[in-house]
Structure 1
Amino acid sequence: MSVSDLIPYHYVTTDINHWYVVIKQGRVEKAKEMKQQVEKEFDMMEKNEKVAVYLQLLKLRHEIMLSYLEPDSVKNIDGVYSDLKKTRESMAPESLTNTIEFYYHFFTGMYHFRTRDLVIALTYYREAEKYLDLLDDNANTDKAEFYFKVSEVYYYMKETHFSMNYAQRAYSIFKEQKDAQGHLTYGKEMVQCQFVIFGNWLDKMCYDDALKTAKKALNDALKIGEQHLIGSAHFNVGLCYNNLEELDNAEKHFQIVYEIHRDRKHIYESKAIFNLAYVKAKKNDLKAALELYQEGQKVAARHNNQEVTEKLKLVKGLYLSFDLQTLREVFKFFKDKNLYGDMEEYAVAVADFLTNKEDRHDAVDFYQMAIEARKQIQRGKHLNEKM
């Protein structure tokens, strides 16, 4: 191919930008189509180092999208990340633009968040934030997506005020985005922000605000009509009812969630089955809880979801076989993964269960675990670890 036959790199960059928009919108089939088109164009493009790394960045972001929306199609996300990291490390410092550095740290944070390596994810997000105000003026939706992703990490770390603040900032930006007819263009993202805000209300034990936010998000999700979003909305309503100890209502919503994700074989199927098994066990429906536990182990293994695999042991160790050693293994996992929010919540639940069984000696151990988790959250030491 002669030089004159090569495609100018700015044409390919335009298509890469369009591909990114489709990825952010979660349009899986269109994103796959755009990926093939861009890769074909790149092979016929004039050489440009910045476009090459931009393409690798979008390949990673594409795989991250698929890991949530179509997990069974993800084959080599670790290899994609490894290739990107090597490319960036080989680039001359002057080639590392603010945009490349922002996307690299942002997407790497997302890559680690998906495996719940929260400290590493947050460390990369903090690096990305340094470049946020250096982006182009038309990067508002990038900023909104970034704020939302940071709010998710802080939510899982139970840093409630930080999480709420970032989620509300993201929601405000998404709310301003409208098409020529005045219709919202980021309605799905607004619902996802409401999910995080709901979770923080729940952590603050403001149950009226939590339930109100969860039901509004469910209504908005139903209007959008996307099954994944509807399933997540039902899940949050179920969580709220579970915390209110309205177990029948909680079971009803978790059952809907399980059916939605089971039919789609989505990664959240494992998360749904754990919560349904947990509620069934709390209601003393142990036969159903056992069946869900057994099925949940298979589902979690299929999705390579270690977090749910460990959480299912709570159902087994607390209700099905009463095995304190199994329970302690779960809490070791929580501690190793810095999942102090889960550690605190479930340690209190186990301690209360043991207290009701008049096993006060072991109950004290789990109350102490809850106290340790709360101290770690308040001190924020887990946020200061290095990559």
Structure 2
Amino acid sequence: MRAITFYRRAEKKLSQVSDEIERAEFYYKISEVFYHMKQTHMSMYYVKLAYDTYTANSTYVIREINCLTVVAGNYIDLKTHEKALVHFENTLKIARSLGNDSMVTKALLNVGCCHNDMGQYDKAVSFFHSAVEVGEKIKAKELIQAYYDLALIYLRKGERETGVSFFEKSLEYVQFFEDALFGRVLNVLKALYIDLGDREHVLCAMNELRNAAGFPYLEELALEAAEFYNRLERLDDSVYFYRQMIDAQKQIRRGDGLYEF
């Protein structure tokens, strides 16, 4: 990943930067890059540097929330969801204290996603609905994700009518925000759960996600497809999509050797 190469080159000159907030901003940005590359420990190292600076300056509360969100995301990648949940709940508390509907929507969505990953679907649905309630007031872009997650939960449960209604709401906001990437995500969900397509139909939709931005979604959706076919006892198809998931994971980590020290 070229971004890492440039960040590491810039880091060598960071000692010349006297403003500690500028240094914190640099550390936060590089922690995000490492997070998206699943380089969890590197991400944690840099986000801690940024967080320590922001918490020492009371005027940077939103930056503090952003750091905690990266920390929680890294804990999810480490499969320690209980630790992630603590940080997501903390960001929700801070966002509510600020009265910032945008930050509250994001925090509610993150708490819901964490419960969802933990298999606590009733709690997840409750937080997704809360995110929708706040997000609809300000037409937050997070509505795309909230409605998508609600659609997936209900479609997975076999409650087709409810699932399709949430799918259509997610699609409505995809079109409103002109979010082409998430449109491709919805195409996979449609192929799998609404069209009940065969392997090739689902794979064709997934192939549209084979790029740097799409691989994290492809990883999740390939696992969803594998589990979907496993429930149907179509084991060959299930194994096929497990392999697609593993390939996506490899693609995400391909940046490992592309930065210079």
TM-score by length of 1: 0.61
Give the CA RMSD over aligned residues.
Answer: 2.4
Q: Aligned partners of 2:258, 2:87: CA distance in 1, in Å? A: 32
Map of 1:368 onto structure 2: 243
Q: 1:122 to 1:367 in 2, by over 3 A?
A: same
Q: Aligned partners of 1:330, 1:152: CA distance in 2, in Å? A: 28
Preserved CA contact (<8 Å) 1:148 1:167: yes
Give the AA of the match of 2:133. E
Map of 1:180 onto structure 2: none
Preserved CA contact (<8 Å) 2:155 2:163: yes
| Cα drift, residue 203 of structure 1 | 1.2
Q: Aligned partners of 1:369, 1:326: CA distance in 2, in Å? A: 14
Preserved CA contact (<8 Å) 2:212 2:252: no
The answer to whether structure 1 residue 210 and structure 2 residue 84 are counterparts is: yes
Map of 1:343 onto structure 2: 218
| Cα drift, residue 242 of structure 1 | 0.4
Of 182, 196, 204, the residue aligned with 1:322 is: 196
Q: How does 1:1-387 map to 2 (within 5 A)?
A: 119=1, 121-122=3-4, 124-135=6-17, 137=18, 139-177=19-57, 184-323=58-197, 324-337=199-212, 339-378=214-253, 380-381=254-255, 384=258
| Cα drift, residue 120 of structure 1 | 5.5
Give the AA of the match of 1:363. S
Preserved CA contact (<8 Å) 1:122 1:383: no
Give the AA of the match of 2:239. V
Residues 56-84 of structure 1 show CA distances to partners (whole Å, capped at 9, x for unaligned) of: xxxxxxxxxxxxxxxxxxxxxxxxxxxxx
Q: 1:338 to 1:223 in 2, by over 3 A?
A: closer
Q: 1:343 to 1:218 in 2, by over 3 A?
A: same
Q: What SS class does the counterpart of residue 148 from structure 2 fall into? A: helix
| Cα drift, residue 128 of structure 1 | 4.2
Preserved CA contact (<8 Å) 1:194 1:213: yes
Q: What SS class does the counterpart of residue 205 from structure 1 fall into? A: coil
| Cα drift, residue 121 of structure 1 | 4.8
Q: 1:332 to 1:121 in 2, by over 3 A?
A: farther
Q: 1:294 to 1:142 in 2, by over 3 A?
A: same
Q: What SS class does the counterpart of residue 336 from structure 1 fall into? A: coil
Q: Aligned partners of 2:88, 2:68: CA distance in 1, in Å? A: 7
Give the AA of the match of 1:164. M
Give the AA of the match of 2:240. D
Q: What SS class does the counterpart of residue 201 from structure 1 fall into? A: helix
Give the AA of the match of 1:361. D
Q: Aligned partners of 1:232, 1:159: CA distance in 2, in Å? A: 23
| Cα drift, residue 123 of structure 1 | 5.1
Paired residues in the alignment total 259
| Cα drift, residue 211 of structure 1 | 1.5
The 4+ residue runs of structure 1 with deviation greater than 6 A are none
Gapped regions of structure 2 (runs ≥ 5): none
Preserved CA contact (<8 Å) 1:274 1:311: no
TM-score by length of 2: 0.88
Q: Aligned partners of 1:185, 1:268: CA distance in 2, in Å? A: 25
Q: Aligned partners of 1:375, 1:334: CA distance in 2, in Å? A: 14
Percent sequence identity is 28
Q: What SS class does the counterpart of residue 210 from structure 2 fall into? A: helix
Preserved CA contact (<8 Å) 1:350 1:366: yes
Residues 144-179 of structure 1 show CA distances to partners (whole Å, capped at 9, x for unaligned) of: 1222222222222222222222221111110111xx
Q: Which has the larger radius of gyration?
A: 1
Q: Aligned partners of 2:168, 2:92: CA distance in 1, in Å? A: 30
Residues 297-356 of structure 1 show CA distances to partners (whole Å, capped at 9, x for unaligned) of: 231122121221122123212221212444323432332235443333322221111111
Q: Aligned partners of 2:165, 2:229: CA distance in 1, in Å? A: 24
Preserved CA contact (<8 Å) 1:247 1:283: no
Give the AA of the match of 1:256. S
Q: Aligned partners of 1:340, 1:293: CA distance in 2, in Å? A: 21
